[in-house]
Amino acid sequence: MRKLTDLLYGRGATNFKTNESFQLLFQCWSLLGIKPLKLYRWRGMLHMCICWFLLLLCPLTFFMGYLHTLETEPITVHLSILQAIFNVIGLPLKAIVITILLTHLRSAEPIFARLDARYQSVASREQIKNCVVVSTRLLASVGFMFNLYGSTTYLQALLTRGYPMRAWLPFIDYIPQPTIRYWVHFIFEVSHMAFLLTLQASMDAFPAIYIRNLRTHLKLLTERVSHLGENPEFTDEQNYEELVDCIVTHQELLEAKNIVGSVCSLTLFIQFVIVALALCVSMLNFFVFADRQQQVVTVTYYLGVMLQIMPTCYQASMIEADSAKLPDAIFHSNWLAMDKRSRKLIVYFIHRAQKNITFVALKFFNINLTTNLSIVKFAFSLYTWMSNMGFGDNFKDLLE
């Protein structure tokens, strides 16, 4: 297993493998209880039980804390907690889906290993290495941004002598000494939020990581196909075998895409719904109720919510564009220099390659930048409608 610094900076003498792109991801999931640290060991099982207890506890504690603040806190605090509750409710659902389908997701690893074995040139191995580095940095960057938002929340709570999410913690809140009660509650919430934010980052980043690796192998296949029939030392039989292997590679890519898509479909559908609701609440809070300090936190949260779907939507859009280049590469290959049997097979290959590689969220939403923009437009449209109806001002007057 390669060191994290080697994955981040691309250091190491040996060839990088595509499956190393997922090393940090699975390490995070092992640390956070989605994947056992050591199978059939009681310590590993105890660790998983604690992690799942914290994960399943968060919707109850956050929602009960929200109810407790309805009579004591201003509306801007209510909305700040409410926009986070949407993510808190969705997080256990996504974790359950990934835990159930984890074995299915890892079944793509032998396919990536077979795809790696086909590319031994220096340029090809460099592309695979760059993919591993980009994938590792993507997960690290998303985790850093999420925890940066958490840090602003901790700092704001510390300055106001409050709690980051005002969660309901009965065993802690009944401590008679106020100073001890505050610091125990504060430390638990900070630790709990760091756990949840790291898990959220891994849940949101894993589709983008897998799609990025699919894109790399699709580009390698496109480059390989464009040189079909150009090697003067190849016989007709060798050209035919090379073409057949390209078709097999394309089929294996589609197989890996189907595996990844089946796991991402439900988790991304849940995330799209959560993001749409959270964006509406964020804009209502920002434009109507929040003061300057709360607006900064709301904007930070807004950017974090966008970051939850942006990398995946971007990678999905890019793989659609990359897959559209494959038929052109096949057509512009030197197929005239190949025999009749190979030319017939190329017609079949072009026909199969014309279907773009797309990802769909539960057969409702295409996963791409268009959908990402549509969700943002929906949130703005809903806010505009509420503003025109005077919902925010009327609700504000009612509270006052």
Q: What does the pLDDT look like over 105-121, one tens digit per residue? A: 999 999 999 998 988 88
**143 or 74, which is more confident?**
143
Q: What pLDDT, on the 0 to 100 scale, is given for residue 219?
A: 93
- Nearest CA to 360 out of 327, 312, 322 is that of 312
* Apex 279 CA angle, 390 and 88, nearest 5: 125
CA torsion sign for 150, 151, 157, 163 is positive
Q: Which whole number is the average pLDDT over 170-189?
A: 82
Q: Is the pLDDT confidence value at 157 over 80?
A: no
With residue 21 as reference, give the H or E element that holds it.
Answer: none
Q: Is the pLDDT confidence value at 47 over 90?
A: no
- Which of 42-46, 176-180, 231-235 shows the lowest mean pLDDT across its residues? 42-46
Q: What is the mean pLDDT of the chain?
A: 82
Burial 147-156 (b: 16+ CB within 10 A, else e): bebbbbbbeb
Residue 378 confidence class, pLDDT cut points 50, 70, 90: confident
Tokens describing residue 397: 């007057």
% of the chain beyond a pLDDT of 70:
88
Whole-number Å distance between alpha carbons of 187 and 191: 6
DSSP per position, 313-365 = HHHHHHHHHHHHHHHHHHHTS-GGGS-HHHHHHHHHHHHHHTS----EETTTE
